[in-house]
Structure 1
Amino acid sequence: MPALNRQSRIWPFATFVITLIAVCLFIALIAVSLKETPKPVRTCGKTGDRDTGGAGVIEDAEPELPGLFHDLTTKELTNLRSFLESDPEINATRLSIDDELGRDALLQSYVSVVDLYLPTKSDALAHLDQGHPPPPREALVILFRGDKSPAVVEERVCGPLPNVVSCRMLKSPKRRNPVEYSLRPFNMMEFGALIEVLLHGVVEEKLGFLLRESFGISYANCKENLCLDFFTTPVSTGLLRDIRQRRLWVWAHYPVEFFILHPVDFALLAVLDDADPSTYGVDKVWYAGKLYDGMDDLVARYNSSSRKNDDDDDEEDYDDDDTDDDGDDDDDGDDDDDDNDDDDVYDDDNNDDDDDDVVLVVLVVLIQYYGNE
């Protein structure tokens, strides 16, 4: 009994000691964490004094005098845009996000890309190594000239920035300038014209009924605004063997997520040779695993196939009627067939009697079962 009392006094003391040690370790851990200084992080650009809390802060303000390789500033881009719009030779169109991107924009002069035009290596080294004045900053501008006849794509060098006074044509021994309009990259304005002129226009007019009968959906006039969508595959001019031609495969798909899992066996080979979207057309049509020579060819074959199926159904109905009539004539003229028919009727009667017997037995068993219950 004294040993038990001694153990009962030891356990509270041991618990107190362990708790005290745990609290001390926790306080020490917090102290070490607070005293640990963060490792310096290397950053690009100017950094402030660490004592003033400016360490690791990147200067994002645009300089008044940007360096040789500094990106184009907002001031430079604004002045350049104003010059391109006011210059009578360029006459760039002002396009914004709110403007409707469609057929009218492609017939105008508009800016596609603006980037910094780097100076030559000799001029850059003369400034950096020898202390010569920096070469003037210039911008490279790519213009889509749909307003010209024929339409072309131009590369111009504009400067000096920020106060632009001229935009000269880029001269390079490695490539032509300007180039054919058909070589320009695709953009949202062209897709807008494609939807307006082709998909919602001539394709819906000629193939809308076919798409609804085949897939239950079309590009326009859809229920609950659920229309066919599309993705595109450009055709290389190397395959066309004519640099003036511009072709684009337009593949249809359902307006669902992971549309590749729900394929639509329909595609158009769009003809986009000219700058005027009203000249857009369709060269080939892929439908149900076959390639057709245009929309008219597909409609003609589709309608002829439908009529053929209807004629086949009518012929089958006609053959069934003839078979019934011939059977009646044979019954009237052939006694053996009558005997066979009588035998068949007799067999059917026996089968009916057997079925009645089975039903009667099942009813008797059920009555006995529930009667015993």
Structure 2
Amino acid sequence: MNGMDDEYKNSARQWRGYALILLVFLAFLIVGFAVLIVYYEIIRRSESVGCQRTAMTEQHFRGAQGHTLFQDLTERELRALELYLYSNKEFNLKRKNKFAPNASYLYNIELLVPNKTSVLEFLDFVGTPEPPREARVVLFRGDKPSPVVEEYAIGPLNNIGNHRLLLTAPYRYRPVSAIEIRAVRKMLKQIDFMLKFVLEETFEASFFDCNTQCLTMDHYTPISSAVSDRDARLVWFWTHYKVEQPMLNPVDFFILFNLDGPDPRKFHIEKLWFAGEEYRSSADLLEAYLSGNVKSSPIPFPVDPESFPFDKIPKPLIRLRSPKVVEPDGHRYSVNRGRIQYMEWDIHFRMSTTTGPQLLDVKHQNKRILYELSLQEIAAYTSGHHPWMRYSNMVYSSHLFGRRARSLIPTVDCPLHATFVPVTTSKEGTAELVTLPGAFCVFEQDSGIPLRRQSGDKLFSGLSDISLTLRSIISIQSCEFILDFVFRLNGVLETRVSMTGFPLGTLHTPQELRYGFRIRENFIAPLRQFSFHFKVDLDVHGRENRFESIDIEPHNVYTSDWLEKEGKNFQNLKIRRDLKMTEQKAAIKNNSDKFYMFHNEKIKTQYMDASAYRLQLPGGMTPQLLTPGTGNEPSISWSRYHLAVTRHKPAEISSSSIYATWDSENPVVNFQNYINDNEDLIDKDLVAWVTLSTYSVPSMESLPVMQTVGNLQSFLLSPFNYYKDDPSLISRDTLDVRTKSSIREKHVNNYGITKTFMCSIEYQVTDEESLFQNDTYKNNLVNGMK
């Protein structure tokens, strides 16, 4: 009996062992199947699927080519211009190795867009010949007995045979050129040789032969004749440590150079500022230093980080990537030789070497809304105690905006899926073509907020605010200006500008505290007012337009109109239309959120109201507080007005000039004169001039770079009784949801475009290096050149 019990027990233990082994095997089998499912369904599938793009013919089109009369100069045209300029003895141009300020100097060449009348005749009337292409050429004529700046129109570019003088400007008004920078550098070598040990003892650095601890003198403040009360060309140059963030590391050493006249041998130093004291020459400073009369505290050379360091724990703690924009079906727009076609929009665009981004012949639903929308000027007026801060009234077009455009960086400046468009310009001092890749980007995006929506018990209908953006970025000195033109589905065109970059500052002193805040141990960043000026040449139902405002004002009524009781007053708001008859009536200094309308009196709605476009200015723009006519204010007389409307004139093509930094004594282009003649505006070709302005008061959070948030200004052009209903109603991006008799039964109308897609990897980017090498970016860059 005991034997049988032992046998039974042994058998039971064996079966339990088999069961345990089987259980473990099944567990491993289940885990294995789970791993395979995860691998094939999630990892491998996402790698192979990526973004499934629907290649539909109606969504992939090349689009019409842009008109050649708007396209920038070609290399062949520049070679022809070079031959004409250097072979014509009237210009007296010398080759590069012989350039000097006292010779004839080729400063700039760019396209001269034909006059508006001839352009519109060509665009609107079949059979009208295309206007001849011409170039605008700027020459510094230091070779003449009375030096002068001359601007010429030269053409036709396909067979150059003539030139005509466009304007002349005083020689001392010329923009700072590479020739003068080289002359300053030559004088700086002499200063460095004499004061080398003074600089090294005080700042642990010098300008030349300094290995890794060097000083640089790149930033400058021009002093106009209106400020100095002298017929001289004076410039304060600033000194900074030559580190990754030089603008944040100023040095208490400034030099005032006199760069007057065409002869560089006569350039000289007016004064030096060192360690809080002013000196007449390098010799005076050296003598004072050696005699112990200079009170200076040695400043250690700053630590130069390789990048902006985190002084806190980076967020998010887990390395999770940020959201990305995708195009599930590819581009829904075309870019072809300076022309964009998107939904109902048709736009030409270019980059002017002088004034920057420019839109031309802008149409919506095949109707011209604008002939031109372009940046005209950017001004930055700085406040401060010391002369290099106090007189730092920079009018930036002297830097030539087109040459200051920057190649845009995918995923930061623009989405990776954007089309990157190169621009061409000429190199200063030559007729050499310079190509800047990716200076424009074009992209469509969803803002993440509804453009419109409506909902009820059984109906929802909505459309997200989807738009196309044309972007460029201009970098000047310490500032980066981001310029956007945004085209929306409802016929609205938004123009906006935002700022970033290093805050401009100087060494902290008690006198500077009234102008700004101390944001580092020895660094104070003062108040600056930035102003941006735009030309808006509207053609609403043709060129014969009127300008009026719709004013909102209080209206007193009586309750007795509708109630039995008498004697009580009631107040509401009413509208009042104010037709602006003359240019002075249309010069608006303080925007008060009025409705500004442009319309053709001959075109009405079915209810006999004006079919108009509205120019909408934002609230919160800063006023121009400077007294007109004082200091450098006359150079930016356009900034006196948030909005001014004038008659179109061929002689009034721009509101500023490349000479505006220097010409406040007698502006070459005086915008105030556009208004002073006070011409009639009724049924005329009208041009609106818009000023956007803002104050910049840097704080510690502005370090190391100011943010764009809070530094954005914009204005809008919107249809106002121009269409019978909302133009976006035809958009297939609309989503309608209707609830039927059963709450759970819904009918979804997506207008033929599914709102769902699978996209785990849109673009194959394996690392930051491959960001600029992946096929999508390269294709988008190439497409922008077509």
1:199 pairs, out of 181, 188, 191, with 188
Query: 1:124 corresponds to which residue?
Result: 119
Question: Structure 1 residues 305 and 23 mapped into 2: Cα distance closer, same or farther (>3 Å)?
Answer: closer
CA contact (8 A) 2:241 2:251 kept: yes
Amino acid of the residue matched to residue 82 of structure 1?
Answer: L
> Post-superposition shift, 1:165?
1.2
> Matched residues in 1 for 2:110 and 2:272: separation?
39
Is 1:11 aligned with 2:21? no
CA contact (8 A) 2:204 2:213 kept: no
Query: 1:180 corresponds to which residue?
Result: 170
Query: 1:150 corresponds to which residue?
Result: 146
Larger Rg: 1
Further displaced range: 244-253 or 11-20: 11-20
> Post-superposition shift, 1:241?
3.4
> Matched residues in 2 for 1:204 and 1:155: separation?
38
Query: 1:277 corresponds to which residue?
Result: 264
> Post-superposition shift, 1:286?
0.9
Question: Structure 1 residues 274 and 14 mapped into 2: Cα distance closer, same or farther (>3 Å)?
Answer: same
CA contact (8 A) 2:180 2:259 kept: no
| Identity %, equivalent residues | 32
Residue 106 of structure 1 aligns to a residue whose secondary structure is: coil
> Matched residues in 2 for 1:205 and 1:25: separation?
71
> Matched residues in 2 for 1:260 and 1:36: separation?
44
> Post-superposition shift, 1:14?
4.2
Please list every run of 5 or more consecutive structure 1 residues that lacks an aligned counterpart in the other structure.
Answer: 42-48, 171-176, 307-373
> Post-superposition shift, 1:247?
0.9
Is 1:240 aligned with 2:235? no
Query: 1:107 corresponds to which residue?
Result: 102
> Post-superposition shift, 1:138?
0.8
Query: 1:140 corresponds to which residue?
Result: 136
Q: Residue deviations 1:155-203, cap 9 Å, x none?
A: 1111101321122111xxxxxx21112112212221111222x2234x4
Residue 120 of structure 2 aligns to a residue whose secondary structure is: helix
Question: Structure 1 residues 301 and 295 mapped into 2: Cα distance closer, same or farther (>3 Å)?
Answer: same
- The 5 Å alignment of 1:56-135 reads 67-95=68-96, 99=97, 105-131=100-126, 132-135=128-131
CA contact (8 A) 1:80 1:162 kept: no
Query: 1:37 corresponds to which residue?
Result: 52
Q: Residue deviations 1:319-369, cap 9 Å, x none?
A: xxxxxxxxxxxxxxxxxxxxxxxxxxxxxxxxxxxxxxxxxxxxxxxxxxx
Q: Residue deviations 1:281-301, cap 9 Å, x none?
A: 122221220123445654665
Please list every run of 5 or more consecutive structure 2 residues that lacks an aligned counterpart in the other structure.
Answer: 1-11, 294-786
> Post-superposition shift, 1:28?
4.7
Residue 144 of structure 2 aligns to a residue whose secondary structure is: coil
> Post-superposition shift, 1:73?
0.9
Question: Structure 1 residues 56 and 184 mapped into 2: Cα distance closer, same or farther (>3 Å)?
Answer: farther
Query: 2:739 corresponds to which residue?
Result: none
CA contact (8 A) 1:228 1:253 kept: yes
> Post-superposition shift, 1:20?
3.5
2:164 pairs, out of 155, 161, 168, with 168
CA contact (8 A) 1:69 1:118 kept: yes
Question: Structure 1 residues 227 and 278 mapped into 2: Cα distance closer, same or farther (>3 Å)?
Answer: farther
CA contact (8 A) 2:223 2:235 kept: no
Query: 2:468 corresponds to which residue?
Result: none
Query: 1:250 corresponds to which residue?
Result: 237
Q: Residue deviations 1:124-151, cap 9 Å, x none?
A: 1111111211100111111111212222
> Matched residues in 1 for 2:163 and 2:285: separation?
50
> Matched residues in 2 for 1:35 and 1:18: separation?
27
Amino acid of the residue matched to residue 278 of structure 1?
Answer: R
Residue 126 of structure 1 aligns to a residue whose secondary structure is: helix
Query: 2:273 corresponds to which residue?
Result: 286
CA contact (8 A) 1:140 1:155 kept: yes
Question: Structure 1 residues 135 and 261 mapped into 2: Cα distance closer, same or farther (>3 Å)?
Answer: closer
> Matched residues in 2 for 1:181 and 1:167: separation?
21
TM-score with structure 1 length normalisation? 0.62
- The 5 Å alignment of 1:185-334 reads 185-196=175-186, 198-201=187-190, 203=191, 211=199, 222=209, 228-237=215-224, 238-242=226-230, 244-259=231-246, 263-295=250-282, 298=285
Residue 71 of structure 2 aligns to a residue whose secondary structure is: coil
> Post-superposition shift, 1:245?
1.7
CA contact (8 A) 1:146 1:152 kept: yes
Residue 271 of structure 2 aligns to a residue whose secondary structure is: strand
Q: Residue deviations 1:221-253, cap 9 Å, x none?
A: x576976532332223132234x4211112334
How many residues in Structure 1 have an aligned counterpart in Structure 2?
Answer: 276
> Matched residues in 2 for 1:19 and 1:219: separation?
68
Residue 149 of structure 1 aligns to a residue whose secondary structure is: coil
Amino acid of the residue matched to residue 250 of structure 1?
Answer: F
Query: 1:174 corresponds to which residue?
Result: none
> Matched residues in 2 for 1:109 and 1:134: separation?
33
CA contact (8 A) 2:192 2:207 kept: yes
Amino acid of the residue matched to residue 93 of structure 1?
Answer: K
> Post-superposition shift, 1:56?
8.4
Residue 80 of structure 1 aligns to a residue whose secondary structure is: helix
> Matched residues in 1 for 2:207 and 2:267: separation?
17
Question: Structure 1 residues 224 and 5 mapped into 2: Cα distance closer, same or farther (>3 Å)?
Answer: closer
> Matched residues in 1 for 2:291 and 2:24: separation?
99
> Post-superposition shift, 1:217?
6.0
Question: Structure 1 residues 57 and 4 mapped into 2: Cα distance closer, same or farther (>3 Å)?
Answer: farther
CA contact (8 A) 1:75 1:162 kept: no
> Matched residues in 2 for 1:272 and 1:282: separation?
9
> Matched residues in 1 for 2:41 and 2:288: separation?
86
Further displaced range: 204-213 or 145-154: 204-213
Residue 178 of structure 1 aligns to a residue whose secondary structure is: strand
> Which protein has greater RCO, CA pairs closer than 8 Å, 6+ apart?
2
TM-score with structure 2 length normalisation? 0.31
Query: 2:155 corresponds to which residue?
Result: 159
Question: Structure 1 residues 68 and 223 mapped into 2: Cα distance closer, same or farther (>3 Å)?
Answer: closer
> Matched residues in 1 for 2:247 and 2:286: separation?
26
Amino acid of the residue matched to residue 137 of structure 1?
Answer: R
CA contact (8 A) 1:248 1:271 kept: yes
Further displaced range: 296-305 or 136-145: 296-305
Query: 1:319 corresponds to which residue?
Result: none
Question: Structure 1 residues 39 and 290 mapped into 2: Cα distance closer, same or farther (>3 Å)?
Answer: farther
CA contact (8 A) 1:94 1:110 kept: no
> Matched residues in 2 for 1:273 and 1:298: separation?
24
Residue 217 of structure 2 aligns to a residue whose secondary structure is: strand
Query: 2:411 corresponds to which residue?
Result: none
> Post-superposition shift, 1:106?
1.6
CA contact (8 A) 1:76 1:163 kept: no
